[in-house]
Structure 1
Amino acid sequence: MSGAHPDPTPGFLVWRLSMKWRVAVDRAIGPLGLTHAQYSLLASLLDMQQARQQPSQRQLADHTGLEPLYVSKLARALEAAGLVARTPDPADTRAVRLSLTDQGREVTHRAIEIVQQRMDELLAPTGGLDGARTKVFARELAALLDVPLNPSAKE
């Protein structure tokens, strides 16, 4: 057998790209006092609020792909920082609804601008955020994300 290394697998490349982008976002928004995970939560919350939703922590976990317990921990930290309000759900005493505070909206808008600029730079090889190859790449990634975790299980 040859000593040459095989080409990296798609899974390895996705993992490496994910780690590279996480680090890039962490560094870009660190001066705002945010981590990539906090940014993901805030940007998703803003998106959902703009769609006239006030999601529960569980709904936000489902939307972001983060574990519900992790979303709860992030929400508490963001509440302590004055960026998120956590309120009891009147329809479900076990659930907590989340919303951005005024300060949270301001910080989130600034973070989105910074992250979009950084993503445009990282996506330069595919034409930037608005590039045709980037749009194809995004569709391919979305198709992969649509595959259930257990594809053999009947839903």
Structure 2
Amino acid sequence: MSKVAPGPTPGFMVWRLANKWRVAVDRALAPLGLTHAQYSLVASLYGMQRAGERPSQRQLADHTGLEALYVSKLARALESAELIERTRDPRDPRAVQLALTKQGQTVARQAIDVVQELHQQLLEPLGGLDAPRTRVFTDELTALLDTPLTPSLPNNENTQGAPS
């Protein structure tokens, strides 16, 4: 007989918080014509370009944690909106490099300001963006994100008949 947790599980709470924040960011960025996923690309590109980088779609996927295929789809949409340009990497013709256009840089700066303000508001219960509780919260999330997932066990004699 399994015991039911008395309250929501940490996984459920993380999922709810991620959804709440995604919706809040989507709403805040709608006037700029961006979604949260598109924002993750333009904001990341903005920071990488400022550091002198011109990343490939693969590098941007690795940086954002998004699937490479999804980054490709988002990049095409952002290219159609004239916010980024996609070019072949001269060192690797299979790779596509990404860069913000002038308009993309302007929109990225505006979006970053909007999201920073939103994060300040969302983190107010912890004291705001620069509060000690927020730093602890960020450290805890980082520890969870940095822990690699172990592959699930195959269905063998060690797992057969075990309660799930």
Q: TM-score, normalised by structure 2?
A: 0.87
Rounded Cα–Cα distance in structure 2 between residues aligned with 1:151 and 1:5: 25
Quote the residue 1:138 is aligned against: 138
Structure 1 unmatched runs, 5+: none
Name the count of aligned residue pairs. 150
Structure 2: runs of 5 or more not aligned? 153-164
3-state SS in 1 of match to 2:147? coil
Matched, 1:77 2:77: yes
The sequence identity of aligned pairs, in percent, is 68
What SS does the corresponding residue of 2:94 show, helix, strand or coil? strand
Structure 2 SS opposite 1:54? coil
Cα distance in 1 for partners of 2:55, 2:40 equals 14
Question: SS at 1:86's partner residue?
Answer: strand
* Aligned residue type for 2:143: A
Give the equivalent residue in structure 1 for 2:94. Answer: 94
> How does the TM-score come out when normalised to structure 1?
0.92
Give me the whole-angstrom Cα distance separating, in 2, the residues matched to 1:125 and 1:26. 21
| 2:116 paired with 1:116 | yes
The one-letter code matched in structure 1 to 2:82 is G
**Residues in 2 aligned to 1:5 and 1:137: alpha-carbon distance in whole angstroms:** 23
Q: Secondary structure at the match of 1:66?
A: coil
What corresponds to 2:156 in structure 1?
none
What whole-Å deviation, never above 9, does each CA across 1:93-119 have from its counterpart, x for those lacking one?
110000001100000000011111111
Equivalents in 2 of 1:122, 1:129: separation in Å? 9
Q: Which amino acid aligns with 1:107?
A: V
Cα distance in structure 2, aligned partners of 1:106 and 1:25: 18
Give the alignment's Cα RMSD to 1 decimal.
Answer: 1.6
Return the offset for 1:149.
2.5
Consecutive aligned runs of 4 or more in structure 1 exceeding 6 Å deviation = none
Whose radius of gyration is greater, 1 or 2? Answer: 2
The match for 2:8 is: 8
SS in 2 for 1:85: strand
Amino acid corresponding to residue 63 of structure 2 in structure 1: H
Equivalent position amino acid for 2:64 in 1: T
1:106 aligns with 2:97: no
